[in-house]
Amino acid sequence: MNANEVTGSGKDYIGYDYKTVNVDGDKVSMYLDAYGNFGWVPDGAADLTGKTEMPGRAFAMPANHFASAATLKLKRDRKILNKTELTRLQQHFEACMDEIISLENSTARAATIYSITIGALGTAFMAGSVFAVTAEPPVIWLCVLLGVPGLVGWALPYRLFRVFAKKRAEEVAPLIERKNDEIHGICEKGNSLLH
């Protein structure tokens, strides 16, 4: 008999555990697929935090449709078999996802630091150039000498950001792929425990 099948005395009772997870909008599908392997199913409950739920979806998004975050609402049968092992696998999955997100964020972080540093050095040279030209008497040769690296320091950061970000992305791509493979192995184990 199906657990939700109506019998002569009514519907069989099922107790649920509930979980709310905030995720990046571009990772919603991955999280939903993975959590399904640990016994979690989407919960269609209303979100009372000022966000609107999209019809037919198991997650709520801010009213702004271009939001970069989503809230997953999930539920799982409290009496699920192998609950302890499924929870351990789920925590391993969450740790792997945190590592992937950290690796993805690191591509822009280092490039931003390098670019800001070069831009700040360019600004320092430009300030020296301004002080040289406003001095009494003006020191034009020093103004030019400091102004050229200042202009270069202002022109280079964006180009260098793209170069550094691309290089870092190439470095972390194999690490992210290994983590994705690890996640697939974890989900496979979880799925086998459910069936």
Would you say residue 16 has pLDDT above 50?
A: yes
Confidence of residue 195 (pLDDT cuts 50, 70, 90): confident
Handedness of CA 55, 59, 63, 65 (dihedral sign): negative
* Dist. CA 86–CA 188, nearest whole Å: 11
Half-sphere exposure of 107 (CA within 13 A, CB side): 18
Decide if 157 contacts 116 (C-beta within 8 A). Answer: yes
Confidence (pLDDT) at 45: 60
pLDDT, tens digit, 9 for 90 and up, residues 39-92: 999 987 644 444 444 444 444 444 344 447 888 899 999 888 888 999 999 999
Percent of the chain with pLDDT over 90: 58
Confidence of residue 157 (pLDDT cuts 50, 70, 90): very high
pTM: 0.69
Q: Does pLDDT of 150 surpass 70?
A: yes
Mean pLDDT of the chain: 84
The pLDDT value given to residue 10: 55
Q: Taking 60 as the threshold, does the pLDDT of residue 156 lie above it? A: yes
How far is 18 from 32, CA to CA, in rounded Å? 14
The upper half-sphere exposure of residue 135, i.e. CA atoms within 13 Å in the direction of its Cβ, equals 14
Q: What are the structural domain ranges in the chain?
A: 1-79, 81-195
List C-alpha distances in Å: 141 to 10, 134, 151, 153.
93, 13, 16, 19
